[in-house]
């Protein structure tokens, strides 16, 4: 004959988190390790553990209660669907989950004797514990690239440009002032009588080499 049983466990998550994970295909799959296809709509069909479990949503109260029909591929045609009722209650350590499984075929007592604990409760505790630890762990911060202070960035090019311009100006002014002195010194020299005469210095660029005198075979004129 069918029978019923009740199990209780504590999950390290809020009632709403447990509720959402149970009715989400991806979260349910990650939470149990078995492929699931579930929904959060009343009347929707469900499957879990790769279609080993099948059923339907019968009653849903967000964050408080989930009621589903539940049968496995081991149920015979003579077996009606069993019913699971999950009641979620907030406690200090998270959520007290109370599972009532009714209309269970007598030959399937393994669900009460370890099946729910090994395939759901224990993996759920690990799943939510790891999520909590990951959320609490600070993400590594990337070091910001070092940059020069704003005043240095703005002033350095300006200062360098000013220095360059000043250097050019100073050099140019010096050359212009020095040129007349050098020219006068080069073009003026005093003779023995005290008179000044102009001496034109040959430019190195225009200076021509002295022509080489060819030696003739003829002798000197007498």
DSSP states of 65-102 as a string?
EEEEEEEETT--TTPPPEEEEEEEEEETTEEEEEEEEE
Give me the CATH number covering residue 76: 3.30.530.20
The pLDDT of residue 85 is: 98
The pLDDT of residue 143 is: 60
Question: In which residue are the tokens 């000044």 written?
Answer: 196
The pLDDT of residue 149 is: 47
Q: Which domain holds residue 97?
A: 3-136
Find, among 44, 79, 28, the residue nearest to 36 by Cα: 28
| 196 within domain boundaries | no
For 106-135, the three-class secondary structure string (H helix, E strand, C coil) is HHHHHHCCCHHHHHHHHHHHHHHHHHHHHH
| 87 within domain boundaries | yes
pLDDT tens-place values along the chain, 222 residues long: 789 999 999 999 999 999 999 999 999 999 999 999 999 999 999 999 999 999 999 999 999 999 999 999 999 999 999 999 999 999 999 999 999 999 999 888 888 888 999 999 999 999 999 998 888 877 666 665 555 445 444 444 555 555 555 555 555 544 444 444 444 444 444 444 444 455 444 444 444 444 444 544 444 444
> Could you give phi then psi for residue 29, rounded to 5 degrees?
-65, -45
The pLDDT of residue 108 is: 86
Where residue 52 falls (left for φ over 0; alpha for ψ -120 to 50; beta otherwise) is alpha
How many Å apart are CA 82 and CA 60, to the nearest integer?
A: 17
The pLDDT of residue 139 is: 65
Find, among 110, 132, 115, the residue nearest to 17 by Cα: 132
| 40 within domain boundaries | yes
Find, among 68, 19, 25, 21, the residue nearest to 43 by Cα: 68
The pLDDT of residue 107 is: 87
Any residues with CB less than 8 A from the CB of 2 and at least 6 apart, and which?
A: 80, 82, 102, 103, 104, 105, 106
Write out the two tokens for 2: 């069918």
For the chain, how many structural domains are there in total? 1
| 128 within domain boundaries | yes
The pLDDT of residue 111 is: 86
Q: Is the distance from CB of 83 to CB of 101 less than 8 angstroms?
A: yes
**pTM across the whole model:** 0.62
Any residues with CB less than 8 A from the CB of 193 and at least 6 apart, and which?
A: none
Could you write out the DSSP letters of every residue in 137-174?
Answer: SPPPPPPPPP---HHHHHHHHHHHHHHHHHHHHHHHHH
The pLDDT of residue 17 is: 97
Q: Buried b / exposed e across 125-156, counting CB within 10 Å, b at 16+?
A: bebbeebeeeeeeeeeeeeeeeeeeeeeeeee
The pLDDT of residue 34 is: 94
| 158 within domain boundaries | no
Helices 122-136 and 15-22, interaxial angle, to 10°? 120
| 13 within domain boundaries | yes
């Amino acid at each position: 004959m069918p029978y019923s049983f009740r199990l209780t466990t504590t999950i390290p998550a809020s009632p709403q988190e447990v509720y959402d994970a149970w009715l989400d295909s991806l979260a349910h799959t990650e939470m149990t390790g078995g492929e699931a296809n579930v929904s959060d709509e009343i009347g929707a069909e469900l499957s879990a553990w790769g279609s080993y479990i099948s059923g339907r949503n019968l009653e849903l109260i967000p964050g408080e209660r989930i009621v589903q029909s539940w049968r496995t591929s081991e149920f015979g045609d003579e077996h009606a669907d069993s019913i699971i009722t999950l009641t979620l209650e907030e406690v200090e350590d998270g959520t007290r989950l109370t599972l009532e499984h009714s209309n269970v075929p007598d030959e399937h007592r393994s669900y009460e004797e370890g099946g729910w604990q090994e395939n759901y409760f224990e993996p759920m505790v690990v799943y939510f514990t790891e999520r909590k630890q990951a959320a609490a762990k600070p993400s590594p911060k990337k070091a910001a690239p070092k940059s020069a202070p704003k005043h240095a960035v703005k002033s350095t090019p300006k200062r360098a440009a000013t220095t360059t311009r000043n250097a050019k100006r100073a050099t140019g002014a010096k050359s212009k002032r020095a040129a007349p002195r050098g020219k006068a010194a080069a073009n003026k020299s005093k003779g023995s009588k005290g008179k000044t005469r102009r001496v034109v210095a040959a430019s190195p660029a225009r200076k021509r080499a002295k022509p080489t005198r060819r030696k003739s075979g003829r002798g000197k004129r007498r």
